[in-house]
Amino acid sequence: MLKQVGTELYHLEKSLQHKGLMLHTPTHNNDCCSLSALECFRVNVNRLQTTKKNLQRKLSKNLMTPMIKASCPPCSSYPKSGSEQFVQELQFLLQKATNRLMWKQNTS
């Protein structure tokens, strides 16, 4: 699933129309707030201006998560950055999650 989301994000990045759009962007967050950061990205993916609206909806749906830790900061507390930086930070978070998942599979 993470690989699919990464592929969707790659294609969505190529279709961005307004790259200066400012969005709340979690940056290199600590591990305990990864779910909160992912939810913030999910909400903001819908605000990206892109030519591929179907891909945008699919990516948002695939980023859904059932729980958010209450001790993590709200999305609105993250600094805003341009849509290109937003996409890069989401890619970083997905890569981090993929690496963690692969590590767990290799140590089991």
Domain that holds residue 25: 2-107
Which residue blocks in 46-82 are alpha helix, DSSP H?
53-62
Q: 68 falls in which pLDDT band (50, 70, 90)?
A: very low
48-76 as b/e, with b when 16 or more CB fall inside 10 Å?
A: bebebeebbeebbeebeeeebeeebeebe
Q: Which of 68, 72, 42, 70 is nearest to 57 (CA)?
A: 42
Q: What is the CATH number of the domain that holds 79?
A: 1.20.1250.70
| Residues 75-106 pLDDT 10s | 999 999 999 999 999 999 888 888 877 776 77
Q: 1 falls in which pLDDT band (50, 70, 90)?
A: low
pLDDT higher for 106 or 12? 12
- Split into its structural domains, the chain has a count of 1
